[in-house]
Amino acid sequence: MKALTLLHEGFAHVSTGPTIKAGSDWLKYADVPKPVIDASQVLIRVLTAAVNPSDLHFIKGEYGQVRRLGAVAGFEGCGVVEQGPKALIGQRVAFFVSPDGSGAWAEYAVTQATACVPLHDGISRTDGANQMVNPLTAVAMMQMVDGPVIITAANSQLGKLMLGLARDAGIPAIAVVRGATAANAIKDYGATSILMTGNSDFVEKASSETLLLKPRIMLDAVGDQFSEKLFTYMPSRARWVSYGKLSTQSPCLTHMGQFIFMDKRIEGFWLSKWISNASKSELTSAIQKIQTRFVSGLWKTDVAQIVSLSKAVNELASATKIKDGKVVLDISGG
Flag whether 282 is in a domain.
no
Q: Do residue 157 and residue 219 come from a single domain?
A: yes
Flag whether 277 is in a domain.
no
Q: Do residue 204 and residue 322 come from a single domain?
A: no
Q: What is the pLDDT of residues 131-150, one digit of tens each?
A: 999 999 999 999 999 999 99
So what's the pLDDT on residue 99?
67
Flag whether 197 is in a domain.
yes
Q: Do residue 149 and residue 212 come from a single domain?
A: yes
**269-301: string of b/e by CB count within 10 Å (b at 16+)?**
bebeebbeebeeeebeebbebbbebbeeeebbb
Alpha helices (H) along 75-224: 125-128, 133-142, 157-169, 180-185, 202-213
Task: Report how many domains make up the chain.
Answer: 2
Q: Give 176's strand partners.
A: 195
Residue 246: domain span? 134-272
In tens digits, the chain (334 residues) has pLDDT values of 999 999 999 999 888 889 999 999 999 999 999 999 998 899 999 999 999 999 999 999 999 889 999 999 999 999 999 999 999 999 999 999 976 678 999 999 999 998 999 999 999 999 999 999 999 999 999 999 999 999 999 999 999 999 999 999 999 999 999 999 999 999 999 999 999 999 999 999 999 999 999 999 999 999 999 999 999 999 999 999 999 999 988 899 999 999 999 999 999 999 989 998 999 899 999 999 999 999 999 999 999 999 999 999 999 999 999 877 899 999 987 6
Flag whether 126 is in a domain.
yes
Q: Do residue 254 and residue 148 come from a single domain?
A: yes
d(CA 331, CA 320): 17
CA nearest to 59, candidates 312, 324, 333, 274: 312
Label residue 12 exposed, middle or buried (CB < 10 Å: 0-12, 13-18, 19+).
Answer: middle
Q: Do residue 109 and residue 165 come from a single domain?
A: no
Flag whether 179 is in a domain.
yes
Q: Do residue 81 and residue 35 come from a single domain?
A: yes
Q: Do residue 144 and residue 268 come from a single domain?
A: yes
d(CA 283, CA 117): 10
So what's the pLDDT on residue 307?
97
Q: Do residue 56 and residue 166 come from a single domain?
A: no
Q: Do residue 138 and residue 268 come from a single domain?
A: yes
| Residues 74 and 106 sit within 8 Å (Cβ to Cβ) | yes
Flag whether 288 is in a domain.
no
CATH number for 268: 3.40.50.720
Flag whether 284 is in a domain.
no
Q: What is the pLDDT of residues 150-162, one digit of tens each?
A: 999 999 999 999 9
CATH number for 46: 3.90.180.10
Q: Do residue 66 and residue 125 come from a single domain?
A: yes
Q: What's the predicted TM-score (pTM) here?
A: 0.91
Q: Do residue 23 and residue 106 come from a single domain?
A: yes
d(CA 328, CA 306): 5
Q: Do residue 141 and residue 267 come from a single domain?
A: yes
So what's the pLDDT on residue 334?
62
So what's the pLDDT on residue 100?
67
Flag whether 266 is in a domain.
yes
End position of a domain, from candidates 234, 253, 272:
272
